[in-house]
Structure 1
């Protein structure tokens, strides 16, 4: 693909994401869509629903990429449609606080574009086992299950400034490296779309990093999780997707112990450092139990953990891509 077209798509994604986030911050504050940043001593109010900026940037960049490269005509629409359907779930949750059953059910419908895109491909290469053909179960179980887990799990490990956006950037950078190293086919196209998504998230992180000027909201966390899942599925990078989500599996187990009533927030001491003196409900609490850290330090530690899994994902995925 023309390098200039890729650069243009990435630039548009960043620019639209940046400008849209600025607009969301102003409109959310004006409309009263704000939430307390409870990890700060003074509990400031921060605008919500910043994920709209990520969505706007990604869609703009993705369509630019689609126009520039017709070979992506199946990968990009499938990723866009599936991730936007789950973003809609996040929007409903932000506004109406929908029931858990609806949150778990909607991703099944959101997986339809990916199922249609994947028709004719039901083989997954599993480390140490080799290639396994799952047949019809690939379409009716594996794809819906993978997308549901990816979107819901990502929403669990959130609550600290920049945490989710940074984790998403590391994941997407991993897919971009794997895809672009592959050289051709849907895995390569998934690598290109990862660059576009990565750019939109980087624009958002400028406002979401410590101290946050905007929160992603459920629309943002669900969208980012679904985007990562959809790209991993569309690019047949299941091994990498599974490895990248190991921290979220741990988070799921910790949250399950509380019947999913646990939080990822910490307690704030007089110096503005976070700590947790109870049974841990989250990976964030495990980090806080190691020592009293500033919020951004807890986030950096978790980013480093995710980066380690990203390296493992690249090593394992390199020899397991099946087209």
Structure 2
């Protein structure tokens, strides 16, 4: 990092707050979800245990706490060394857009919304990011170079990007720790890119780092065997935060590579008219298998060999790590150019 010690203190304070709040809020959610009957069946286990859902509440709480801590602790220092407008606009635009999507996920958890509503609401969620991005309608597209989309950037590109990043992330879920771990890897890549940059990209990188520690805390409860599920509020929120950070930090090339597994997942799910699932069937030995046509990346792995749930998750994490490395390499080249 290129900046002074007060900024480093702000970042450290923010990630500590985000970790602690996520940890405590998730513990609270587990207890309350059990009391209120917000539970789901862990279908990838022989025992078919009932596990609390809505764990994403802890993720939302932790990210909000960490982001506001960064905003409040950094703002005075920012006015003397940087343009504080970068900090305010980056944090506020990411938070507003992500919270709208998180609200969509909460409604979906409770009311099981129609697919049309899930696809429509992100259009409104993109408004804060569109306002923030005014004057920045040029995108560097991998293998094509710089392209200026003009007004179409604000009315088509931004809403489409946020819709894809939030909805697609929600599709590849269903195994203990899968979504949170994938999100952690993606956020780590964005943090690495952002923290080596300046201006809005740097502050977007700080938000990505906050998300990393939020997901680390959540994984303590969500990793195999899971004590809580993120629910749609969690998966939608993680996907929207990653998308919003990529947009606010102008890291579109990184988003392109990070979401390649999700594009594959989208294609597989589209073949089933989005009625496909990601979980599998459990053999008496505890291996997951799928004997029908694959409608998820998880099924593809199940068809390759005999794997237990946590092994499939590790394979998908490894796959995402490869694309995360590619995202860092290609985005770094663009920043230097």
Shift of 1:322: 9.1
TM-score normalized by the length of structure 2? 0.94
Question: Which residue of structure 1 aligns with residue 232 of structure 2?
Answer: 218
Q: How do residues 89-168 of structure 1 correspond to structure 2 at under 5 angstroms?
A: 89-168=104-183
Question: Which residue of structure 1 aligns with residue 93 of structure 2?
Answer: 78
Shift of 1:126: 2.0
Give, in whole Å, the separation in 2 of the partners of 1:131 and 1:179: 20
Contact 1:147 1:226 (8 Å CA) reproduced: yes
Q: 1:243 aligns with which of 233, 236, 257?
A: 257
Consecutive unaligned residues in structure 2, runs of 5 or more: 76-83
Give, in whole Å, the separation in 2 of the partners of 1:272 and 1:112: 46
Shift of 1:276: 1.2
Q: 2:210 aligns with which of 196, 203, 214?
A: 196
Shift of 1:131: 1.7
User: Residue by residue, what CA displacement relative to the aligned partner does 1:267-309 show, whole Å, maximum 9, x if unpaired?
Assistant: 1001111111211010000111111111000000000000000
Shift of 1:125: 1.5
Contact 1:75 1:190 (8 Å CA) reproduced: yes
Question: Which residue of structure 1 aligns with residue 79 of structure 2?
Answer: none
Question: Which residue of structure 2 aligns with residue 37 of structure 1?
Answer: 42
- Report the secondary structure of 2:196's partner residue: helix
Question: Which residue of structure 2 aligns with residue 26 of structure 1?
Answer: 31
Give, in whole Å, the separation in 2 of the partners of 1:127 and 1:174: 17
Contact 1:20 1:52 (8 Å CA) reproduced: yes
Give, in whole Å, the separation in 1 of the partners of 2:296 and 2:73: 43
Task: Verify: 1:315 aligned to 2:320, yes or no.
Answer: no
- Report the secondary structure of 1:73's partner residue: helix
Give, in whole Å, the separation in 2 of the partners of 1:168 and 1:322: 26
Shift of 1:69: 2.2
Give, in whole Å, the separation in 2 of the partners of 1:64 and 1:19: 17
Q: How many residues align?
A: 322
User: Residue by residue, what CA displacement relative to the aligned partner does 1:254-273 show, whole Å, maximum 9, x if unpaired?
Assistant: 11111111100111001111
User: Residue by residue, what CA displacement relative to the aligned partner does 1:96-143 show, whole Å, maximum 9, x if unpaired?
Assistant: 111111000000000000001101111112233222111101111100
User: Residue by residue, what CA displacement relative to the aligned partner does 1:188-227 show, whole Å, maximum 9, x if unpaired?
Assistant: 1111111111111110011000000000000000000001
- Report the secondary structure of 2:139's partner residue: strand
Q: 1:179 aligns with which of 172, 194, 197?
A: 194
TM-score normalized by the length of structure 1? 0.98
Give, in whole Å, the separation in 1 of the partners of 2:88 and 2:207: 12
Consecutive unaligned residues in structure 1, runs of 5 or more: none
- Report the secondary structure of 1:65's partner residue: helix
